[in-house]
Structure 1
Amino acid sequence: MSDAIKHECGIALIRLRKPLTYYQEKYGSALYGLNKLYLMMEKQVNRGQDGAGIATIKLDIEPGNRYISRHRSTSSRAVNEIFEYVLGKFAEVHRKDPELMNDVQWLKENVSFLGEVLMGHLRYGTHGKNSIENCHPFLRQNNWMTRNLVVAGNFNMTNVDELLLQLYELGQHPKERADTVTVLEKIGHFLDDENQKLFDHFKKKGHSNIAISHLIADHLDVANILTRSAKTWDGGYTIAGMMGHGDAFVMRDPNGIRPAFKYIDDEVIVVASERPAIQTAFNVPMEDIDEVSPGHALIIKKDGSYTETMFREPAKRASCSFERIYFSRGSDTDIYRERKQLGKLVIPDILESVNNDIKNTVFSFIPNTAEVAFYGMVEGIHDHIRDFQKDQLLKNKNISSAELDELFSLKPRVEKIAIKDAKLRTFITQDSDRNDLVNHVYDVTYGVIKPGIDNLVVVDDSIVRGTTLKQSIIRILDRLGPKKIIIVSSAPQIRYPDCYGIDMSRMGEFVAFQAAVSLLKKSGREYIIHEVYDKCREQAHLPKEEVKNYVKEIYAPFTYDEISQEVARIVTPTGINAEVEVIYQTLENLHAACPDHTGDWYFSGDYPTPGGNKVVSRAFMNFVEGRNQRAYA
């Protein structure tokens, strides 16, 4: 992606179902779980470079000994830093007495982090909130083992104000206005409530307090806790949690917006945000991995048994299509195939743009995430050439040898044009100097374009703001002297803010929105902006269920191509010699390529939860009012 946007968070959860001695004997190390957690987090580090954290729980620890361990980091190499810290504890043991590394019980009792339940989290920071306090996992502590709660997730709630009010009505006083706090405290409240009910129940039966603690651990109804907690949540979420005594869970929103994959055998129960992380870490085929169902929670009891239980009625599935286009690693079998298909589906528009002149067209991509879509585009060009050659042969039975040579010489001209250099530090304060540095973020391959003759087609996976295109890429490509530069987005036009976890929240930053506003002003229809603003204001205090997305009216007067043409004008810097065109994937083609992941609200404005319409309405009002802030907490 030429315009960097923040990744969705990633989770990893491992429940070891055998005693630690089992892994020592079979795999040669009691650190089996920690090693696997490290590998799973490294394989998902694309999901958040702003920080990371892990937490572990030891089962059946004697009172007075630590059984929950947590470590977090906001380092640029957070995952490595965390595991250097954790595994350094065992290295110290090995230095002092190598034999102790074979004494699993001693290690469990004396070295932190050696537990049977392990959780990892990778995060991105939104809007400057990137301190250690913002790093997951979050911990809610209590002297009662069954009241301790550890939570980490990939989520965003649209109705934080409503959830905070509910906590206040329960008698709580949250210390922050953030969805992480509301989620932790909401689950924590009902965890406390469940504990108290069980305590009262067993106390009436005459059990001692010590016995009751164990009975609560055995009988804790995690499904009921989660059902009561999530009753009014509005958002996209995959949330993992652990209780101090050893129960664990992973819950997924009713629309399946955020991803969650699970693998279960007699040794481990594993959950991750991305399937390949599990495949690589545990060397298992993808057929053995499935998803946590939307609206369901995978609940793992202290004894290692598990169930997948519904906590909210599943709604219309709206899995995030941006996962497929950009966020998730392309090493997943299905995502790789879908991204290639996205590249193929733009071929008709590309051929029309270059007047079918393949001979004088060079195909390339903007590194690095558009590479798979580029492979699909090249395959599509090959298919077109083959069909063209076949058609010519069928039409001309008496074709000469020279004509055959000419016909079969036709092939796509594929080159790596744009090369992304290491990031340049913009330490120079003058804007003109800083912009000059930005112009050199990419370099180009010289000598492969015939100046004034060749078209240059460059595929990007998506165009969000268009800033890098204007400040850097188009200027650099123009140096090569192409007749025409065609920027192809394998994603549709991003028109609306996300509110379920992606850092795309300010409408004024979207170049497609800028294009629509510009066209309204040019065509004398600026009044539509004010009409939409008034409609948004009128519904500002309505319940989220009654709010409509009136922002769609900003785009309604114009065709898809008209928006694309205006985007091309906006991102084309002054002094460019080549003609510049921007081609976007259509929404219909996106659904054809990714039929099982229909969450397209950032393209269509069709939000899967009521809170989405409230967010887009607020985002538009922020734009009109000049407020540079996101429309949700």
Structure 2
Amino acid sequence: MSESIKHECGIALIRLKKPLSYYQEKYGTWQYGINKLYLLMEKQHNRGQDGAGVVSVKINLKPGQEYINRYRSIEPNPIIDVFDKVFKSVKKAIKNGADINDTEWVYNNLPYAGELYLGHLRYGTFGRNSIDFVHPVMRQNNWKSRTLVLAGNFNLTNTDELFQKLIDLGQHPKNYTDTVTVLEKVGHFLDEENQYRFRNYKNEGYGNREISPLIEENLDVQSVLENASKDWDGGYAIAGLIGHGDAFVMRDPWGIRPAHYYEDDEILVVASERPVIQTVMNVKADEVKEIKPGEVLIVKRNGVVSNQMVRVPHKRVSCSFERIYFSRGSDKDIYHERKQLGRLLAPTILKSINFDIENTVFSYIPNTSETAFYGMMQGVNQHLLERKKKLIRAGNGTMSEEELEAIISLEPRVEKIAIKDVKLRTFIADDASRDDLVAHVYDVTYGVIRENTDTLVIIDDSIVRGTTLKKSILKILDRLNPKKIIVVSSAPQIRYPDCYGIDMAVLEKFIAFTAAIELLKDKGKQHVIDEVYQKCKGQENLPKEEIMNYVKDIYRQSTAEEISAKIAELLKPEDCKAEVEIVYQSIENLHKACPNDLGDWYFTGNYPTHGGNKVVNTSFINFIEGKEGRAY
């Protein structure tokens, strides 16, 4: 993507099913688990660069020994910083002459030498890059079965409502965030489950010291999570550890956020993405399973793994933007879906170039649009094949060798035009200097475009704000003096804010929204803007379940083609000599390409949860009233 869109996080959980001595003997190191955790996190680096954290739990230590260790970092390279800290104690032990191959000594004396590991990668949103917001977060207690650690990839739309419920319970939360809300909500019902079992065992005549292990053995994790999550509105994949050794990963009932796992007799591995597990564990795609919507994967203290329902699953609307941009393209399904997105655009592109392949150069904006580019070229080549067959048939055997060779040798002109040259820093103070530097984020390949003759078709995976297009890409492409520049988006027009974990929450930052507003003004329909504002204001105090998405009315006044044309007008730099056209994917083709992941609310405004409608209306009110910040 030519623009940087942040994503809310990646998770990695590991449960070792054998003693450390087993891994020392089989793999030559007791650090097998922590090494796998490092790889899982590094392979998901794309999901978090603002912060990282790791927690380790030891299940079989005696009282008085530290059984839980955590380290979090917001350093420039947080993963490296975290694991430097993790391995620091090992290096120190070696320096002091300890036998680190003695797994019993290691287990009792070194931190992060446990059976359970939870890692997290964080992308901060709205400037809150503080260590307090880095997962895993922890709720500690002297009773291990009440100690809770959580890390997740989630956003809840109704934090205000949930926060108030915590207050009604008599709590005093330390922060107004969905992270604290989730931690305290789960923690409350974990306390209740412990208290319920304590009373029952007490009534049966057990003593206090006998009761703790009974609670740990029989704790009902599914019940805790079912009670805690019943009012959650949002997308989430949340992993948790309980101090005595139970662990879980739960997924929202719409399947918005991804979560996958692999299990054998040695290890259980959970991560946000399937190909990450495939690579780290060297297993096939069909050996990695998906945690189903509304389901929790529970691994008990004794290592037994089960899948249980915590929320009744709704219609699956997994995030399609994951498929287009965030997920690793090495996943076999995602790779084919991205190619299909490009292939389905070919007919529209050919129409835009008036089928003049001879005078067109095809390229892509690095790097995530490369796969869609391959698909686009397959579509163009298929058209060209049909054209060649038609011409040869029309010749009916009368063509000369030269004529036949000219037809057969005709191929699309494919070139690497845009080159990602440098990642600019934001320490430049004045806007004029910053804008000048932004214009040089990309460079171009000179000498492959015939000046004032060729059309340049260049594909990107999505166009959100259009800032980089306007300030950098179109300017440098225009230096090549093409007759026309066609920018193709493999995603449809992004029209509505996301509220489930992707940092796209402010309406006026979407170029499609800006174009729709400008079109209303051009058409003398400013009253529509005022009417939508009044409808949104009229819903401000309604429960989220009763709120309608009236922002759709803004887009109903113009066709998708009109909005695309207006976007091209708005993004074309003043000094750009070439004609500029913007081509977007259609919603219908998006669903053809990604048939199992139908979450399309940023394109259609069809939010899977009631909270989504509340967010989009609030976002529109903020736009009209000039308020900054996200709408949830």
State the distance in 2 between where 1:434 and 1:124 align.
24
User: For residues 508-554 of structure 1, what are the alpha-carbon distances to aligned partners after superposition, in whole Å with 9 as ceiling and x for unaligned?
Assistant: 00000000000000100011001001001111111111100000000
State the distance in 1 between where 2:318 and 2:426 align.
38
- Residue in 2 aligned with 1:231? 230
- CA drift of 1:76 comes to 2.1
State the distance in 1 between where 2:95 and 2:355 align.
69
State the distance in 1 between where 2:429 and 2:279 align.
45
- Residue in 1 aligned with 2:477? 477
Q: Which moved more, 1:477-486 or 1:2-11?
A: 2-11
Aligned 8 A contact 1:426 1:437 in 2: no
State the distance in 2 between where 1:140 and 1:505 align.
30
- Residue in 1 aligned with 2:5? 5
- Residue in 1 aligned with 2:584? 584
Count of matched residue pairs = 631
State the TM-score, normalized to the length of structure 2.
0.99
What letter corresponds to residue 179 of structure 1 in structure 2? D
Unaligned runs of at least 5 residues, structure 1: none
User: For residues 30-56 of structure 1, what are the alpha-carbon distances to aligned partners after superposition, in whole Å with 9 as ceiling and x for unaligned?
Assistant: 101000000000000000111110101
State the distance in 2 between where 1:429 and 1:144 align.
52
Q: Which moved more, 1:502-511 or 1:264-273?
A: 264-273
State the distance in 2 between where 1:188 and 1:5 align.
32
Taking the TM superposition and a 5 Å limit, the aligned residue runs for 1:227-306 are: 227-306=226-305
- Residue in 2 aligned with 1:116? 115
- Residue in 1 aligned with 2:468? 468
- Residue in 2 aligned with 1:403? 403
- Residue in 2 aligned with 1:170? 169
- Residue in 2 aligned with 1:75? 75
State the distance in 1 between where 2:90 and 2:425 align.
38
User: For residues 431-470 of structure 1, what are the alpha-carbon distances to aligned partners after superposition, in whole Å with 9 as ceiling and x for unaligned?
Assistant: 2222111111111000000000000001000000000000
- Find the residue that maps to 1:91 and give its secondary structure: helix
What letter corresponds to residue 290 of structure 1 in structure 2? K
State the distance in 2 between where 1:548 and 1:107 align.
58
User: For residues 414-441 of structure 1, what are the alpha-carbon distances to aligned partners after superposition, in whole Å with 9 as ceiling and x for unaligned?
Assistant: 1111111122335443322221111111
State the distance in 2 between where 1:431 and 1:128 align.
20
- Residue in 1 aligned with 2:446? 446
- Residue in 2 aligned with 1:528? 528
State the distance in 2 between where 1:597 and 1:25 align.
43
Unaligned runs of at least 5 residues, structure 2: none
- Find the residue that maps to 2:100 and give its secondary structure: helix
State the distance in 2 between where 1:96 and 1:393 align.
81
What letter corresponds to residue 351 of structure 1 in structure 2? L
Aligned 8 A contact 1:8 1:327 in 2: no
User: For residues 342-367 of structure 1, what are the alpha-carbon distances to aligned partners after superposition, in whole Å with 9 as ceiling and x for unaligned?
Assistant: 11111011111111111110111111
- Find the residue that maps to 1:518 and give its secondary structure: helix
- Find the residue that maps to 1:76 and give its secondary structure: coil
- Residue in 2 aligned with 1:569? 569
- Find the residue that maps to 1:115 and give its secondary structure: coil
- Residue in 2 aligned with 1:203? 202
State the distance in 2 between where 1:212 and 1:96 align.
41
What letter corresponds to residue 134 of structure 2 in structure 1? C
- Residue in 2 aligned with 1:619? 619
User: For residues 111-150 of structure 1, what are the alpha-carbon distances to aligned partners after superposition, in whole Å with 9 as ceiling and x for unaligned?
Assistant: 1011101000001011010011110000000001110000
- Find the residue that maps to 1:102 and give its secondary structure: coil
State the distance in 2 between where 1:491 and 1:287 align.
28
CA RMSD of aligned residues (A): 0.9
- CA drift of 1:97 comes to 2.3
State the distance in 1 between where 2:518 and 2:304 align.
59
Aligned 8 A contact 2:347 2:379 in 1: no
Aligned 8 A contact 1:552 1:605 in 2: yes
Aligned 8 A contact 2:464 2:510 in 1: yes
Aligned 8 A contact 2:8 2:502 in 1: yes
- Residue in 2 aligned with 1:489? 489
Aligned 8 A contact 1:117 1:246 in 2: yes
State the TM-score, normalized to the length of structure 1.
0.99
- Residue in 2 aligned with 1:421? 421
What letter corresponds to residue 481 of structure 1 in structure 2? N
- CA drift of 1:386 comes to 1.2
State the distance in 1 between where 2:79 and 2:382 align.
44
State the distance in 2 between where 1:180 and 1:275 align.
25
State the distance in 2 between where 1:145 and 1:501 align.
31
- CA drift of 1:598 comes to 0.2
- Residue in 1 aligned with 2:27? 27
What letter corresponds to residue 188 of structure 1 in structure 2? G
- Residue in 1 aligned with 2:129? 130
State the distance in 1 between where 2:50 and 2:411 align.
44
- Residue in 2 aligned with 1:455? 455
Q: Does 1:84 align with 2:84?
A: yes
- CA drift of 1:395 comes to 2.2
What letter corresponds to residue 503 of structure 2 in structure 1? D
What letter corresponds to residue 175 of structure 1 in structure 2? K
- Find the residue that maps to 1:459 and give its secondary structure: strand
- CA drift of 1:376 comes to 1.0
Are the structure 2 counterparts of residues 196 and 427 from structure 1 closer, same or farther at C-alpha, using a change threshold of 3 Å?
closer
User: For residues 214-261 of structure 1, what are the alpha-carbon distances to aligned partners after superposition, in whole Å with 9 as ceiling and x for unaligned?
Assistant: 000001000000000001000000000000000000000000000000
Aligned 8 A contact 1:258 1:320 in 2: yes
- Residue in 2 aligned with 1:336? 335
- Find the residue that maps to 1:346 and give its secondary structure: helix
User: For residues 251-287 of structure 1, what are the alpha-carbon distances to aligned partners after superposition, in whole Å with 9 as ceiling and x for unaligned?
Assistant: 0000000000011111111110001111111111011
- Find the residue that maps to 2:121 and give its secondary structure: strand
State the distance in 2 between where 1:57 and 1:396 align.
76
Aligned 8 A contact 2:47 2:122 in 1: yes
State the distance in 2 between where 1:205 and 1:424 align.
67
